Amino acid sequence: MSLVSSAAGPIPAADRVVHLDVVRGLAVLGILVMNIVEFAWPDEAYTNPAFAGGCTGLDLWTYYLQVALFDGKMRALFSMLFGAGLVLVGERMARSGDGGSATDLLLRRCLWLVPLGIVHRFFLQWTGDILYQYGLLGVVAVAFRHLRARTLVVLGLVWMLAFVPIGLRRHAAQVETRTQAEQAAKLQAANETVPADLAAAQKRWQAREASIPPKPEVVQKEIAEVRVGYWQLFRNRWDYHHNFQSAFLYYHWVFDVLGMMWLGMGLLKAGFFHGRWRAGVYWSLLLVGVGVALAQLAWAVRWQKAGFAATALELRLVQDLTYAHSRALVALAWASALLLVLRRGCLAWFTTALAAVGRTAFSCYILQTLLGSLLFYGYGFALFGTIPRAWLMAVVLGMSAVQVAFALLWLRWFRFGPLEWLWRSLVWWRLQPLRRGSEA
């Protein structure tokens, strides 16, 4: 979602922050490496390859690659860039003498994402929609845009620490269930009466033990629920969609997305996304990110040795406590690598392609949904549940090529992407100039 453009009119080419376009392009294309699993397999397979999609051989190594380099990292980068855009638009309006209207503009830009996100999730059937969350939480982030860079960075990092008590609470509840199940087993072995609460805990723990690998009929049932017609799928996913745009927003996204937005706002103010930092700092962030990615790879290998079991509570706790900040560090490593490439002026063909995708990020994001749903859902080619995890990467390459081609060709004739144009027109409640050469 390109938020680096002044909504009052197209940004002159010399005024665009090309670095932001390039990094955003990476985030849009990179996010598909994980999202493709959600398009192609039941939801549980996204985080646990033993549930479906393949967890041996090349499929296993694909999972390792996803965990180390992509899982949540591109979404983190996307969220940071959204926050950065809030600051950038406000600063540009202030420089043009219209700073008093900046807050109103930014709020309208955010609030229009809410209905667009509802349409994206419910009617285009993308279970991984992020527009709705960005719209609501962006309204909160706008109120903090005048804080100093360091304050925003610290605020974002501290805010995401909320996942520590959340993870500890979840872990404690699961450990209690395991302990109660063990107590119930001891009582049964001694032919003693098992209290109702212990029996219930034992049943929950046994279900957890039996969840991986899942029974074939469980997986097939979930696959069958997606390989249906449009309106049947709409009904099948109704409750799931509501949960993610209600309860899940308040106990997860509010800490994840808002923390990353604040971090991105601070980094934009500090000059990180403009490429103004010393090369040594970008190299340091890159090396730190590589170290974190290797640590996550080691975690994934350890979990594989544990059979990807849902009962590996201590391993899951490590993931829960470190996930938010490790994602941020690897995301910044990706951004640092690109900013170093831009500084050296090499790989121009690559950065040009990324910049085009970044300028049409909103449109490309929705294009991913259209292509993914057409390929995998029942009202399209119905490939859901048929392509192994490793081969999905070939699908990613194909869909990425389509997005790059679309972005490059579209921008030859038009100022910004079709959905960027729609968004601008809604914000200003008048049609914005679209064709190149048209009057702003």
Domain membership flag for residue 200 = no
> What does the angle CA 397 – CA 85 – CA 334 come to, to the nearest 5 degrees?
40
Distance (Å, whole) CA 295 – CA 327: 12
Regions of the chain where pLDDT drops below 50: 1-15, 440
At residue 245, the pLDDT reads 87
At residue 94, the pLDDT reads 81
Q: 20, 11 in Cβ contact below 8 A?
A: no
315-329 confidence digits (pLDDT tens): 999 999 999 999 999
Q: How large is the greatest C-alpha to C-alpha distance in the chain, in angstroms?
A: 85
One-letter-per-residue 3-state SS of 125-147: CCCCCCHHHHHHHHHHHHCCCCC
Total of domains in the chain = 1
At residue 99, the pLDDT reads 61
| 3-state class (DSSP) for residue 326 | helix
Core vs surface per residue 61-92: b (16+ CB within 10 A) or e = ebbbbbbbbbbbbbbbbbbbbbbbbbbbbbeb
Q: 72, 323 in Cβ contact below 8 A?
A: yes
Q: 66, 33 in Cβ contact below 8 A?
A: yes
Domain membership flag for residue 320 = yes
At residue 437, the pLDDT reads 73
At residue 95, the pLDDT reads 81
Domain membership flag for residue 178 = no
Q: Domain residues for 319?
A: 13-160+215-428
Q: 424, 381 in Cβ contact below 8 A?
A: no
Domain membership flag for residue 420 = yes
* Residue (of 9, 159, 191) closest to 79 by Cα position: 159
Q: What is the phi/psi pair of residue 435, to 5°?
A: -70, 145
157-170 confidence digits (pLDDT tens): 999 999 999 999 99
Distance (Å, whole) CA 350 – CA 279: 20
Domain membership flag for residue 175 = no
Distance (Å, whole) CA 284 – CA 81: 21
Domain membership flag for residue 171 = no
Domain membership flag for residue 201 = no
Domain membership flag for residue 203 = no
At residue 260, the pLDDT reads 98
At residue 438, the pLDDT reads 61
At residue 390, the pLDDT reads 98
Q: Provide the token pair at 106.
A: 């930014």
Distance (Å, whole) CA 427 – CA 352: 28
